[in-house]
Structures are given as structure tokens and as C-alpha cells.
Amino acid sequence: MFEKVLVANRGEIALRVVRACQELGVASVAVYSDADETALHVRHADEAVRIGPPPAGKSYLDVDALIEAAKETDAEAVHPGYGFLAENAAFAAACLDAGLVFIGPSAEAIEKMGNKSAARRLAGEAEVPVVPGSDDASSANEAAETAGGIGYPIMVKAAAGGGGRGIRVAEDEEGLRKAVQVARREAEAAFGDGTLYLEKLLVTPRHVEVQVMGDHEGNVIHLYERECSMQRRRQKILEEAPSPGISPKVREEMTEAAVRLAREAGYANAGTVEFLVEGDEFYFIEMNTRIQVEHPVTEMLTGVDLVKEQIRIAAGEPLSLKQEDVPLVGHAMEFRINAEDPDQDFMPSPGEVSFLEVPGGPGVRVDSAIYHGYQIPPFYDSMVGKLIVWALTRDEAINRARRALREYRLEGIKTTIPLHLRLLEGDAFRAGEYHTGYLEELLNGD
């Protein structure tokens, strides 16, 4: 096991990793920008290193500064968390070159699965179904020819994309040609790579992902699925597991497909294989080569600490459990608490937390890194916490979530808590019959 781990992130995930290190008896090093000097992950870590000014490009995305911080504190390994450099193959390679262990998959696996069009090809080799489309759309003419064979509507997507960026929808050829231009510009600006690919747009699919974990001995297991269809502009708002919208047969086939793909990629550490589902058909769309924001949902269902498992695997230990040992008990939900105003088109709401009271009780977990008097900076993602609930049944989980959300008092800023309470009252959600377009329809009054 490592003696010391540097956590190359901020906010609740940095605090989550620091706590996992503490429970493993591993010293932790926090990094922080000038905006995060008083952050909780800085307070709780054994050591902390300033890495730059507030803009992420000059701090949390500064590879050289992060490597230097690890070296000067004698850290042996780096945990990237999620976001920032977590899926950056060059960062994983830089850690290796510096003699540091990257707590995640290899740079090669990140490169292989991070490129969405390459991942589609690999899925085909692993006999995992993919959405009809093309692996490359290098020109508008080529895209138009491909789309003509697939049929509209069509999605233009960035091969290096993520987080809903570099994606455009086209209803016809004229719209497709415009979408290719816009998506390429956006992808080049966001990812430094303008490569695009096409996918047939499934109009009302569910978005379901499978948590996988592999070790360096070639063992790969799944820890079941998570339902992620509650989205706004392709950003997840709420997740739950098990999915209320798939049959046991689809669950078995999908989880087996996810494990097959991870094995084909030579994957070690935590990863998530994402699918779109329509009826009993499912299609691979991408693999996230990192721990997910919504990993607590799986932890509540299975009792497996995914972050500690990540650290153990990176240290060379085998998986701590076999597939047949992974339990699936009850129902869990996660509600992302964002500093946004849902009544003002989700405008970010940075500022001071003037009052904070978090919910508790059986089956309630809050992952957050804010406190009374904390100043939420305007430079980073707006998520300030996650409320996770567990109960034996889905109905009980909904009732527990309603109670916990009502207890959650966060004043001084606007949050998505009222939106979550509204979602819980929706007939479609309560019946488990929602899809990726449901939230947009609800907000638009459709």
C-alpha cells in the first residue's frame, strides 16, 4: 500500500478521496488554488500545496504544478478524482514518467476509451451493440452521405468530448452541415481536437450506465447499473439504482457486455460503461475512465467502497471481491445539489453560505465540501453537494428522499433542492417511466 497519495482535485471528490486515504492509513496531500485556500479538503488532508491562481487552467489543469507538488511532498501516487485531468491520457503518462502511480486506468486505456469513435470500434470487436452511426465524420459532405443512409434526426458528437460539449442535433441535411461546423469549433476549443462522429438520435431513450472495476491480474467485475436519464442539456441531475426501467434480462445482458468491453480494453481500475436503452434494446455510447460523480449510489447498494478499491488496485492488490460476491440490496438515489437558480435558466449562484443544515437519519448520506460561511467560488463547476438516500424499496427511497430534501437547508445562494422536490412529485418519475428528454419537457411545460 502507498505511504502518501496526492489528490489532484478540489471540492467534495477531493474530500472523499482524502477520507478514503485516512481509512486506509495512507497520508494525503491536498492541492488548492487561491480560491480554495480555506476549503475542507485542504483542512482535512495531512499536507496541502498551493498550485496557482483561481482559473482552472492555471491550477487544477496545470500538469507541471501537480507533478511538482507530488514530488516535493514525496507522494507515491496521484488520485485525479473526476473532471479536470481525470480522463487526460497525457496526465496519466506524465505521472508515470515522473515515477508516480496514477490511480486510474493506464494512459493507453484512457486514450483507447476516451476517444469516442475509437471506443465504438472497440465495442464492435467485443460484440457490444452500438448506436447506428459512423466512427468518423471528417467533412460535412461525408457526414451528409452517412446521415442519408442512417436517417434523421442525427447527432454530431466530438470524438474527444464529454460533459455534453461538442454535441449538436440535426433534423435534416442543411442542419447537419451547420451542426458539423459548430460542433467542430466547440470541440477544438474545449478539447483541442475537432474530430467528429455521427450517431442516430434515439428520440426517447433511457441513459443507463454500468459500473465496472478491473485489476492488474485481468479480473473484471461489474457492480450493476445506474439509471441516469434525469438530465438537463445532457448533464445529469439525479441518478438511481437499480434502474426502474429495464428488465432482469436486459440487466444481465448489459452488465455482461460492459465487462466484455472492459476486458477487451485491458482495463484496470474503476470505469463506467454508458448505454442508451429503448425497450429491450441497448446500445453502447461511451466509457468514462474514472470514478463517477454518482459512485455513491453504487456504494449504497453494494456496500463496496469504490474509492478505496481504486487505491488498493493501483497499489497492485487484486480485486477484493468476485462477481458472485457483489450484493445488490435495496434502492438508492442521488440528488446533485448545484449552486444554480432553476427559475433563472439555472444561472450559477456563487456566494456565501449564510446557513447550512444537512439532513441525517437512517439511509441518508451527504457528500459535500461546504460549510457555514463558506464562499462558493465562481470559477468551477456549480455542484456543491450530493444527497444520497437508500431504502429497501424504491417507494421507500422516494419518501426518504423527500424527507431529507426538506431537511436540507442551504441559505445565501440558490440551489436545485426545490427542483428535486418537484421531480419527486412527478407521476412519470414516481412510476419510473422517464427518459432523457423528460426533464426538459417538464421545464418547458410540454
**Of 206, 290, 336, 365, which residue is the catalytic one?**
290
User: Residue 67 has what DSSP assignment?
Assistant: H
Q: Which residues pair with 226 in a beta bridge?
A: 209
Q: Structural domains in the chain?
A: 4-103 (3.40.50.20), 132-200 (3.30.1490.20), 206-444 (3.30.470.20)
Q: Does 185 participate in catalysis according to the annotation?
A: no
Note the pLDDT of residue 163: 65
Cβ atoms 287, 122 nearer than 8 A: no
Dist CA 71 CA 155 (whole Å): 44
Closest listed residue to residue 27, CA positions, set 99, 82, 75, 95: 75
Cβ atoms 339, 313 nearer than 8 A: no
Q: Return the number of other C-beta atoms located less than 10 Å from residue 84's C-beta.
A: 21
The beta-carbon contacts of 47-53 under 8 Å, at least 24 apart in sequence, are 47/73, 49/73
Counting Cα atoms < 13 Å in the Cβ hemisphere of 165 gives 14
Counting Cα atoms < 13 Å in the Cβ hemisphere of 293 gives 26
Dist CA 255 CA 395 (whole Å): 25
Cβ atoms 274, 286 nearer than 8 A: yes
Residues (pLDDT < 50) of the chain are: none
Cβ atoms 387, 334 nearer than 8 A: yes
Cβ atoms 261, 128 nearer than 8 A: yes
Note the pLDDT of residue 100: 99
